[in-house]
Amino acid sequence: AIVAGGVAGVFAILGALILLHRRVFDPRIRANSSFGDTAILTLLTIQLALGLSTIPLSSQHLDGSEMVKFMNWAQGIFTFQPGAADYVANVHWIFKSHLFIGLTIFLVFPFTRLVHMLSAPIWYLGRRGWQLVRTRRDIAGDRARARAGNRAGGA
């Protein structure tokens, strides 16, 4: 998991950095971007960087003791147990920052364009593929010539 996650994380952060660079430095994309677009992309990039920086720390705890703390914290959060924060009180600050940014992303998600991914109709996933073919031919002229040919041939 550490190796596969690290490789996937490196590719993800490279992609996020490319997207962030385009959003900031390409005038056409910047003109069509809101503050929320840039902010959520920045948060996702920071989240990826923090996630990658937890890999060396996680390799020091191969027994899973740290992960059990996060599991108990998550169960406490989802079951509304008071004192859930006590489970992660003594973990490394990088893990805490990763949790904080992750929860912040959940908080701002409804106010960004990312929310549109939830509004796609479910039938869209199973639809037949269609390919639009555009031609440079003069279709109106072709139709007029065909009509003229039909009149000439039919008379």
> 91-104 in b/e burial notation, b at 16+ Cβ within 10 A?
bbeebebbbebeee
DSSP at 12: H
In a domain, 147, yes or no: no
| Cα 39 from Cα 20, distance rounded (Å) | 10
With respect to residue 146, please indicate whether it lies within any of the assigned structural domains: no
Note whether residue 69 is domain-resident.
yes
pLDDT tens digits, 51-106: 999 999 888 887 888 899 999 999 999 999 999 999 999 999 999 999 999 999 99
Distance of CA 82 to the CA centre of its chain: 32
Q: Domain total for the chain?
A: 1
Tell me, yes or no, whether 92 lies in a domain. Answer: yes
Q: What percent of the chain has pLDDT over 70?
A: 94
Q: Give the domain CATH number at 13.
A: 1.20.950.20
**pLDDT at residue 81, as a whole number:** 94
Domain contains 135 = no
Q: Is residue 43 part of a domain?
A: yes
How long, in residues, is the chain?
A: 155
Tokens of 58: 């996680």
| Six-digit token string for 151 | 């009149």
User: For position 6, what pLDDT does the model report?
Assistant: 93
Instruction: Supply the range of the domain harboring residue 98.
Output: 2-122
Among left, alpha and beta (phi > 0; psi -120 to 50; other), residue 68 is alpha
Q: What pLDDT, on the 0 to 100 scale, is given for residue 153?
A: 58
pTM for the structure as a whole: 0.73
CB 70 within 8 A of CB 88: yes
